[in-house]
Structure 1
Amino acid sequence: MNATVLVIEDSTSIRVALTAALTDAGHRVIAREDGARLEHDLHEFAPDVVLLDVMLPGSDGFTLLDVVRRRSDAGIMMVTARDAVADRLHGLTEGADDYITKPFEMAELVARVGAVLRRRGAHTDLLYVDDLVIDQDQGVATRAGTPLALTPTEFRVLCFLAQRRDRVVTKTQILTGVWGYDHYDPNLVEVNVSALRRKLEAHGPRLLQTERGRGYTLRPAAPDAAGAATAAGRS
């Protein structure tokens, strides 16, 4: 289940942990420390779910809840240390879909985000990596708005990597995950990865990175490595 989640949380440690947990679950995450850019973010990213801390600098979470309800059809989860029944009832009666109090287990929060998505019937088959958008349901991928002409196998490899974005994936893992076997010739992976990389790079900087002696990672290249990546061999 993959969705766009807007996180508004002023605690840096909690914001980073939420971003990591939700990204690891396959979601696209936009994280902010306050609601100053809320209307812009609702328009720009069209989030499927908004996680709102209640106690924020500037406008508090209950005020932002009203903005989200007026400007978006996103699901809303209130995330706060305020656990009084009156606070929970206020959030829920004003339009929040769920209310979770701190401290909480990340696994529970991720599960409850999934429950909000299911209840609201959000379209959650999209994967995002930088300017790459993959629609798993429709079987199409675009980069910078341009459709990519991928074979069915290349598309499956791309989805497998995108579902594990920012993580190193070995050739054996790709063989097992895409073809169902781990004893095929590893050259099968190299051929498809090379073709996929060429098609991705026809529309932007390198996204499919080779991790020497380890495997592959789908992520944008670091700025200081972009030039080297362009000149590097494609394997």
Structure 2
Amino acid sequence: MLILLVEDDSVLAAQTIDFLNAEGIDVDYAATLASAKEIAAKNAAFDEYDAIVLDMALPDGNALSLMQQTLAGFDAPVLFCTAATALDDKLAAFDAGALDYLTKPFALPELAVRIKLLTGKVSKQNQVFELGDLHIDFSAKIARRGGRTIVLSPQQWQLLALLAEQAPAPVSKVQILRHIWPDSEVNNNMYKSLITRLRHNLSRGDEASVIHTLKGQGVALRETTP
């Protein structure tokens, strides 16, 4: 998942980006309306993003103008994350097309959940995920492939949920490390071992591998292509 964050508080932006990265959400960042417009021009369209998070009061103007002009006609859902608490500000944001509004100060976990809800990509830990003959019920912690039940460790469940959330797109090594070991230094052997164990548990015998390591991109949960 990729979002655009437009926020002029550099400290808050850094904290937000670090937290969202650990949640498997990649972030492009702009501190001003002008920077956001440059990113839009460079990327051709804001449709590149799964969601856009906007502060309202920015150094070079009000983000409502970005909503009404540059973002007009684009599909990426917008969440305002701002210190503006007045009802008129909230109504103006929704009138401009925003789908959600979060006032500062806020908890980063709440922001992450709101983004996932907004994009329709809420963690599959409460859902069923299927890939070919692989069937995973994250709420019940049951995984089956063909006629066999798959037994996974807690860390393997964490990794599988992260991969399923972004499947078939790859998840970077940095994202995996931050998600599985957020407060620990991890050597490369621990990382490789976790990937190998999950790959082995999901694919036995003649079963095609569904865990793929993509050079320079990360790890992806997807079917093997011929």
On whether the aligned pair clears a TM of 0.5, the verdict is yes
Which of 176, 183, 203 in structure 2 is aligned with 1:164? 176
User: Within 5 Å, which residues of 2 pair with 1:32-47?
Assistant: 32-43=30-41, 44=43, 46-47=48-49
The 1:162/1:180 distance shift into structure 2, 3 A limit, reads: farther
- 1:50 is the counterpart of 2:52: yes
Once superposed, which parts of structure 1, at least 4 consecutive aligned residues long, lie more than 3 Å away? Answer: 158-163, 165-169
Of the three residues 136, 155, 176, the one matched with 2:167 is: 136
- The structural deviation recorded for 1:11 is 0.4
> What is the CA distance between 1:161 and its match in structure 2?
3.7
Pick closer, same or farther for the CA change 1:159–1:8 going to 2, 3 Å.
Answer: closer
Task: Give the 3 Å change call, closer, same or farther, for CA 37–165 of structure 1 in structure 2.
Answer: farther
The match for 1:75 is 77
* Distance (Å, rounded) in 2 between the aligned partners of 1:36 and 1:98: 23
Partner of 1:94: 96
Shift in CA distance, 71/35, structure 1 to aligned 2, threshold 3 Å: farther
* Counterpart for residue 28 of structure 1: 26
How many angstroms apart in 1 are the aligned matches of 2:63 and 2:177? 31
Cα distance between partner residues in 1 of 2:70 and 2:113 = 22
In the alignment of these two chains, the number of paired residues is 153
Query: Cα RMSD (Å) of the superposition?
Result: 3.0
Measure the CA separation in 2 of the matches of 1:12 and 1:73: 27
Letter in 1 for 2:194: Q
How far off its partner does 1:68 sit? 4.3
1:176-224 per-position Cα deviation (integer Å, ceiling 9, x unaligned): 333239xxxxxxxxxx99xx6xx83xxxxxx48xxxxxxxxx6xxxxxx
1:59 Cα deviation from its structure 2 partner: 2.1
Name the amino acid aligned to 1:38: A
Question: How big is the shift at 1:160?
Answer: 7.5
Q: How far, CA to CA, are the matches of 2:56 and 2:118 in structure 1?
A: 18
How far 1:28 sits from its partner (Å)? 1.7
Q: Quote the residue 1:111 is aligned against.
A: 113
Does the CA contact (< 8 Å) of 2:21 and 2:175 recur in 1? Answer: no
Counterparts in 2 of 1:35 and 1:136: CA distance versus 1, 3 Å: same
Deviation readout 1:48-76 (Å, 9 max, x if unpaired): 21111011101212112213431521110
Q: Confirm or deny that 1:60 pairs with 2:62.
A: yes
Q: How many percent of aligned residue pairs carry the same amino acid?
A: 24
Report if aligned partners of 1:7, 1:51 keep a CA contact under 8 Å in 2: yes
Displacement of 1:80 = 0.6
Structure 2 partner of 1:149: none
The 3-state SS of whatever aligns with 1:164 is helix
Q: Does 1:173 align with 2:194?
A: yes
Show structure 1 runs of 5+ residues with no match: 120-134, 142-157, 182-191, 201-206, 209-217, 219-235
Separation in 2 of the partners of 1:179 and 1:11? 45
Cα 1:34–1:25 shift into 2, 3 Å = same
Cα distance in 1, alignment partners of residues 62 and 117 from structure 2: 25
Alpha-carbon distance in structure 2 between the residues aligned to 1:59 and 1:77: 17
CA contact (8 A) 1:160 1:178 kept: no
Q: SS at the partner of 1:99?
A: strand
Q: Which amino acid aligns with 2:76?
A: A
